[in-house]
Amino acid sequence: MTLSYRYLMSPPGAVQEAVEVALDAGYRHVDCAYFYQNETEIGAAFQKKLGEGRLKRDELYVVSKLWNSFHAPQDVKPAFLKSLTMLNLDYLDLYLMHSPMGFPNISGELMPQKDGLLLQSDVDYVDTWRAMEKLVDEGLVKSVGVSNFNISQLERLLSVCRIKPAANQVELHPYLTQPELVEYCKSKGIVLIAYSPFGCPALPCPSGENSPVPLLENPTVNEIAQKHGKTSAQVLIRFHIQRGIATIPKSITPARIVENAEVTGMASEPGALFAPGQWLRCYCHQGRVYDFHLTHKEIQTLEGLNCNTRFIKWNLLGMETHKHFPFSDKKWEVSPGRSASQ
């Protein structure tokens, strides 16, 4: 398993520099999305670094996502090509359906609304998927996958798809371990990619009597970090890696980007990153490998912090009424009687 970088909710002007720092630090898996509205900056970073001649396109693993407004089959390819153009690339390595929920395409609006509620389309994500499969047929993208899909939706897609989803990108961290989804994806050969591995510190923690402390400030996480001489962020990344889950933290701070890279001993020349049947191998300088390892007991302790808390809120503007809303488990707040502060 490996480490990627994600560029969500980053201020304009900061993203290009952050991508350049990440590439110099050894990152080769870059997680993008049309919804993030910064693919032009990321493309400028790619163009600069590839132009320097020290980095080759086949050493990169670039991911983008189809936003909900472009689920209609006729909108899939134009949306893909727009991202591809902004990223200054000839192909993508992985293209994900950002969620199973479709919105109507109203002049390309990201969040089309009426009377304070999101407008919903009745496009079936299966039809969207079939249009995405054609992108693979045309050689525009190497693999396709999904994001924010639950087990039932994955099962339905697997029953009808021609090309199996390569990955499912979902929120995962010790407060939201989703063991059933993790095991299901592993059983089907679908790579699970964890977003918000730090519990999204840029967003406020849920409030309430049993609400958890911010994950990076959790005493248990801090204790394990101190034991290994690492930061809490490094421990959380390592937690996912040892569970066999690819991880995509987000930062625009150069020091933190480099710090997180140190978890995996990442190389500046990682070689092939993706091949059929395997996911993002990282090669290391002079035989350098992972420089610390969480014990089985520590992994279990971190898993025990699970309190089914989501930090990325999809239940807004009436989205939870969408017929393809994937989070019917109602896991939006801490379960009664449970606290993740211990």
Give the catalytic positions in this structure.
36
Q: Which residues pair with 316 in a beta bridge?
A: none
Phi, then psi, of 235 in degrees rounded to 5: -65, -40
d(CA 26, CA 172): 24
Sheet of 246-248: strand order equals 5-6, 29-31, 61-66, 92-97, 141-147, 167-171, 191-195, 246-248
Question: Beta strands of 74-197 (E only): which ranges?
Answer: 92-97, 113-114, 117-118, 141-147, 167-171, 191-195
Cβ density class 43-78: b for 16+ within 10 Å, e for less: bbbbeebbeeeebeeebbbbbbbbbbbbbbbebbbe
